[in-house]
Amino acid sequence: MKVLIVTGLSGAGKSSAIDCLEDMGYYCIENIPPALVRSFINLGGTGNGIERAAFTVDVRGGELFADLSDVLREMRGEGIEYRILYLEASDRTLIRRYSETRRTHPMADGGSAITGIRREREMMEMLRQDADYVIDTSNLKTAQLWAEIKHLFEGDHTEKSFMINIMSFGYKKGIPVAGELVFDMRFIPNPYYVKSLRNLTGNNKKIQNFVLKHQVTQDFLEKAMDMIEMLIPYYMKEGKYNLTVCIGCTGGHHRSVAVANELNRRLEEKGRRTTLEHRDLGK
């Protein structure tokens, strides 16, 4: 039996993912206590004809969720093969989704949605690091999410299918917990100190010209491209099919945005699949 654990942040799209997997022929169970996953697998493996099963597990299970790491370790010890699909989205996107649905975040505990989101991110971080697939749904419509899931689980896993997630951020707002690679752009001259550029962002051509004209920026981009290209086959060898690259500067408005845009452009030019997010732009 092929086993898929679907998990991630509340509001990131797990229910939509399960709907897609069900259409793909998976036997799907939502919000199952982790301790029962093994029992179901053992039951399904006794001639019941279930070839593919997907389970959603998240923090709504309360204390039962804490059992997941133990269950996964036991499954590995018993030789049960499984994959983990982790869904996430930016804080801004999750807040908007909860506002639109007028739902309360399960981890808010009477506080604001952002409090619950940050608490949940911290609780889920170790599981995210162990995930085989990570999908950021911030900019994905339901149809796009379904297409991405079908690509991952029905397509061939070649280097062309590898996903590179690029995120710009500002150190003033903290380092993203999601990044496998984190690069600091504060060595590049800062356009903030040029009066005519201060109120622009890295999405503006003038800022891009300023940031990219420096040789040190070009050197960094070349080395970063080399490193990413070098790492992709090693990640795939370990069963990982995505890589999150975080590009930071002081405020997350100028240098990091311009460099992230250019890195994304160069990767797309080489035929790589990418996503692009500017975490702190507009804050």
Domains and CATH numbers, the chain: 2-155 (3.40.50.300), 161-278 (no CATH)
Structure tokens given for 69 = 């790491």
Of 112, 117, 132, nearest in space to 59 by CA: 117
Looking at residue 49, the DSSP 8-state letter turns out to be -
pTM: 0.64
Length of the chain: 283
161-186 pLDDT tens trace = 788 989 999 999 999 877 889 999 99
pLDDT at position 22: 93
User: Which positions ≥6 away from 265 have C-beta within 8 Å?
Assistant: none
Q: Phi/psi at 221 (nearest 5 deg)?
A: -60, -40
Long-range CB contacts (within 8 A, 24+) of 98-106: 98/11, 103/11, 105/10, 105/11, 106/10, 106/59, 106/60
Q: What are the residue ranges in the chain where pLDDT is below 50?
A: none
pLDDT at position 206: 97
pLDDT at position 80: 83
Please answer whether residues 34 and 62 qualify as being in contact, where contact means their C-beta atoms are separated by less than 8 angstroms: no
pLDDT at position 254: 97
pLDDT at position 51: 83
Single-letter amino acid code for the residue at 86: Y
pLDDT at position 98: 85
Distance, in Å, from the CA atom of 20 to the CA atom of 26, rounded to the nearest integer, reads: 9
pLDDT at position 38: 79
